[in-house]
A and B are shown apart, each in its own frame.
Chain A
């Protein structure tokens, strides 16, 4: 029978080896970067097609993006519960096709891609095409012609003309013809612009795509315009009249017709949820090349939806903070109030930044202590007293947030990241400590907690540690091994070397 110490040592050794071994494998064989290098914004674009059932069989076709203008698509996922699914290639375009013989209730289909912009190049040049004459009513025709006449007089070429046209049809327009046209058109305003350009003999086509905004939900497809100025194609933003492809625009499709077609359904909608995540460029490249080859990569954090990845980015830092607490308590011997309160404070610091967080924390706790000492004169029962402290803390937080917002100090609003109950308990414990052991002990334990929290914060906010824990989550196993090993540490604490300073060899 092996002793429990040996057992722990063997277990810790295995955990350490597995963690470090996996990490080295990923670094040397798969080419993951060991130190953080260049980061790249990877966008997760989740398309949601929702529709209600109509008569007969259902067929939904979605045109898939091709990766134009330097965009690279890393990963593509389809969710199609209860539908037959197929990808159809036609005229070098790809279509996702969902089909079902009958549908009784509203359905939602999902299409998710992860994409990043490899280079800032523009759209590939294309051959010229003739302008297409729009189909117009008589009164619209008259208005369009008058508008063209006015704008042509002011413009020097197709590009200037287009810019002026966009302004004329913009929201601040005063031109009566432009307003008439906008009021008679049922479709989006860019269609009016296209029609006027077509009538004026300028070749013009829409570019469909998504305006990228981090954290945005229910975003719909937007459009840009592409006109031919006689020698090349120029992109215009129909909202700002700016020429050139905007940076935050993901190009879905160029020149085609509809992106989505739904047969056998009604009220169909196509909406997008967008999340941006900063990932190391080399990791992105590795994922792209080898995701299929290595099962290990399929089980990495990167295979999760990006929102969850963000959550894990934070969660994976907590073991590091726990290690800091273990080291500070067992090896150094710092006394803290509450075992893991320092971690919670450090997590709050992550949101507020260090100095501001310290200031808020000290302010709230001291204000709370004053109020708590007043409460203690009222001789309340414990549970109501703590509840009262919780409520007082919430009031203090609200007061602080409102006052600072009024003064224009937006950063102080992050006070809400401090866990209320933890603050209330801290105040309660500190105040009992004060009554029983005196202010000195409050300073020792409160200071100890803050010191450990600051160290934990420093560890968690380090770019290298963040990079390592996120890219090599297996290192958490190694941390576990170290923590288990420290759990069997029976040597002296640093503070004991001071406490027993006169107990060394007899002089």
Chain B
């Protein structure tokens, strides 16, 4: 017998389904014409910089195949960097170089690769291998995030990122995604990363879930999730809410990373944030979204909305 939950119970808990998300939120609040801004990380970065939102530094861009040969000159003097497709989906095609060994580059996993491997990666990115719908793409070279050491113990190999869902300028729900050995250093929950639900009020961990099961400690680093509190939480929420104003998309997911020196930085935006955040928080989105709509009606003030949200959704 396949274990199923009754739809009435889900409704009582306020769990949102895919159809409701598509019809009720994405279709209704996210006009299609604003999508290119979030689907293209280069555009997102430029728009964010204009508004003073902190993003990882951009070292350079490779746009055409003939530039691929000269990519090593672009990389000269860079000890560490990240190469990613501007329109990559699901964290695909990201090459992380953490250091150098003479002519060779050291990947985050410790494997050394040569300059030709880097060029081939860039060439694949341009051909659209990692991009939505296989379209031709642009390769971005940006600074490696020197992530906050207080969070390092919660992630295995990969960078832990914080996903905040904001609706009409109100932060609604948040989680941290921690890579594990099982997820191969990727922060995708369905591949086995741990999703840690975060309290909107304080940034403290509420509960952690791996493969749909509650967990207490990180399976690889043994860090206890109950001790996790996101530093600079106020700024994380502020950043997520600003993105709603920046993009015009009323319902979006902001992926934020914490840099040791520069604090919360916007990594990317998502116009169709997934539903897994509900599992990580063991809570439904529907009631919170209804409350967020009330808050948005109540005040136009950016900071007031965040304050009300922290009050309302905090533990």
Contacts and interface: CB of A to CB of B under 8 A. Distances in A.
Contact of A500 (B12, B19, B23, B278): B278
A173 B191 CA distance: 81
A10 interface: no
B128 A497 contact: no
A500 B15 contact: yes
Interface stretch (A47-55, A292-300, A487-495): A487-495
B260 interface: no
Contacts of A333: 18
Contacts of B12: 505
Interface in B105-133: 120, 123-124, 127-130
Contacts of B6: 497, 504
Contact of B4 (A379, A382, A487, A501): A501
Interface in B1-48: 2-7, 9-10, 12-13, 15, 17-20, 23-24
Contacts of B2: 498
A382 B129 contact: yes
Nearest to B134: A382
Given A497-B7, A503-B282, A490 B24 contact: yes
A490 B23 contact: yes
Interface residues of B, number: 35
A333 B17 CA distance: 10
Chain A, interface size category, equals: 20 to 34
B18 A500 contact: no
A503 B5 contact: yes
A139 interface: no
A490 B212 contact: no
A428 B133 CA distance: 11
B208 to A, nearest CB: 14
Contacts of B272: none
B279 interface: yes
Interface centre among A437, A493, A497, A501 (most CB of B within 10 A): A497
Interface in B129-144: 129-130, 134, 136
A504 B9 contact: yes
B92 interface: yes
Given A379-B120, A382-B134, A496 B18 contact: yes
Contacts of A504: 5-6, 9-10, 13
Contacts of B123: 379
Interface string B279-298: 10010100000000000000
A137 interface: no
Given A496-B18, A498-B3, A503-B284, 13 more contacts: A490-B20, A490-B23, A492-B19, A493-B17, A493-B19, A499-B212, A501-B3, A501-B4, A503-B10, A503-B13, A503-B15, A503-B278, A504-B10
Which 8 A/B pairs are nearest by Cβ-Cβ distance? A504-B9, A490-B20, A504-B5, A492-B17, A497-B4, A382-B127, A501-B5, A501-B3
Interface of A: 330, 333, 379, 381-382, 428, 432, 436-437, 487-494, 496-505
15 contacts: A379-B120, A381-B127, A489-B19, A490-B17, A490-B20, A490-B24, A492-B10, A496-B10, A500-B10, A502-B212, A503-B13, A503-B15, A504-B9, A504-B10, A505-B13
Interface of B: 2-7, 9-10, 12-13, 15, 17-20, 23-24, 90, 92, 120, 123-124, 127-130, 134, 136, 191, 212-213, 278-279, 282, 284
